[in-house]
Amino acid sequence: MVTTHQIRNVLRVYGNQLKKRSTLVQESLEPDRMHKDRVNISSEARHRQALNKMSERVISQIPVPSDRGQAAESGGLPGSGKGGAE
């Protein structure tokens, strides 16, 4: 005699196998094109972000004189160590 519990287990396992099979079929129809695109976009974005960070650091390290006349009179830019007492 087959119990309802056994029938439910068989149907559950069969349903899980069908889901796995449909997933495998979809993946085989669509090659790794989607995955490659994600990786390429991600590396491009990472590269762009690194360039932005570096440019922000360089720009933040450039001294901004409060008065251009002072920098010309002292013989150098503020923070450069040339001329003028800082």
Query: Is the CB of residue 78 less than 8 Å from the CB of residue 71?
Result: yes
Q: What would the two tokens of residue 77 be? A: 């830019």
pLDDT of residue 45: 87
User: Rounded distance, CA 16 to CA 12, Å?
Assistant: 6
Instruction: Going from the first residue of the chain to its last (86 residues), give the mean pLDDT of each consecutive group of 10, the final group possibly shorter.
Output: 88 89 76 56 83 91 74 54 50
Q: Kindly report the CA angle at 62 between 77 and 78, in degrees rounded to 5?
A: 20
pLDDT of residue 13: 92
CB atoms within 10 A of CB 74: 16
Q: What would the two tokens of residue 10 be? A: 């068989």
Q: What pTM was computed for the model?
A: 0.32
